[in-house]
Amino acid sequence: MAGAEIEALIRHLAKLPGLGPRSARRIALALLKKRETMLDPLVRTLMAAAETVKICTACGNFDSQDPCFICADARRDGSLICVVEGVSDLWAMERTAAFKGRYHVTGGLLSPIDGIGPEDLKIDRLLSRVKNAAVKEVVLALSATVDGQTTAHYIADRLKDAGVAISGLAHGVPVGGELDYLDDGTISAALKARRPM
Ligand SMILES: [Zn+2]
């Protein structure tokens, strides 16, 4: 029905999270119809993102600078580290503007069923950060799922001799809920009412 380039465009769009073939076709058409206002700026933005965005070697956040803007910001409290599973959770915490410390992204959760062990996550790097910087408290903001809580307990155990306070989010958080799906007020409240682990 369409040329190879258009088919390829639709195929790539359909792989994006939340999109299927139908929405991919609609987007492809919209882009091709509005070349100057939609397609060209998107191409330039994608190329710039691909060239400049990297992973912060300190915390695992995405940014165009390394260390990222949060790690580089001297006004952020370096004695407080919030551990999150992924960058989407970091963004969710940042949206609330309730957290003034720094982050550590694990890059996933322990999951024996899926064969994900501690060596697959950035937990050793967290331990060396805690040892080498003047960290006083680690907040484990992991999801209330079985894997999230398994991971939280594993990290708490590894940190138990590190001389830092360890706390978890107070979960008014629905079981199986991920931070990204929560409204800002719920996250702020869960952070304020965090409890020692
Ligand atoms: Zn960073």
pLDDT band at 101 (very low <50, low <70, confident <90, very high): very high
pLDDT at 176: 47
Average pLDDT over residues 65-93: 94
- Specify which residues 82 forms β-bridges with: 103, 139
* d(CA 102, ligand 1 centre) in Å: 8
DSSP 9-59: HHHHHHTSTT--HHHHHHHHHHHHHTIIIIIHHHHHHHHHHHHH-EE-TTT
* d(CA 49, ligand 1 centre) in Å: 17
Above 60 in pLDDT, residue 172?
no
pLDDT at 109: 93
Distance CA 82, CA 90 (A): 9
pTM: 0.82
* d(CA 105, ligand 1 centre) in Å: 9
* d(CA 43, ligand 1 centre) in Å: 27
Protein residues within 5 Å, CB atom, of ion ligand 1 = 56, 58-59, 61, 67-68, 71
